[in-house]
Amino acid sequence: MSVVVVAPGQGSQTPGFLEPWLAEARFSDHLDELAAASGVDLRTHGTVSDADTIRDTAVAQPLIVAASLLSFAAVAEGGRREKLAGVAGHSVGELAAAAAAGILDESDAMRLVTRRGAAMAEAASMVRTGMSAVVGGDEAELLEKLAGLGLEPANFNGGGQIVVAGELDALARLQEDPPAGARVIPLQVAGAFHTRFMSPAVETLRAEAAGLEPGDPSLPIWTNKSGERVTDGRTFLDLIVGQVASPVRWDLTMQSFEKDGITGIIELAPAGALVGLAKRALKGVPTVAVKTPDDLAAAHELIDAAPAEEGA
Q: How many CA atoms does the CB half-sphere of 96 hold within 13 Å?
A: 31
- Cα–Cα distance, 77 to 93 (Å, whole number): 20
- Cα–Cα distance, 281 to 156 (Å, whole number): 12
Residue 257, CA distances (Å) to 90, 252, 253, 273, 292 in order: 14, 9, 6, 17, 25
- Cα–Cα distance, 232 to 159 (Å, whole number): 30
Q: Looking at 2, 194, 256, 300, which residue is catalytic?
A: 194
Give the other-Cβ count within 10 Å of 235's Cβ. 15
- Cα–Cα distance, 204 to 208 (Å, whole number): 6
- Cα–Cα distance, 16 to 46 (Å, whole number): 5
91 an active-site residue? yes
Most distant pair of Cα atoms in the chain: their distance: 54
Closest Cα partner for 68 from 12, 3, 119?
12
Q: Looking at 91, 132, 256, 300, which residue is catalytic?
A: 91
- Cα–Cα distance, 276 to 7 (Å, whole number): 13
Q: How many CA atoms does the CB half-sphere of 158 hold within 13 Å?
A: 25
- Cα–Cα distance, 169 to 164 (Å, whole number): 13
Element (H, E) at 67: helix 57-75
Rounded-to-5 percentages of helix, strand, coil across the chain: 50, 15, 35
Strands 129-136 and 182-186: antiparallel
Provide the annotated active-site residues: 91, 194
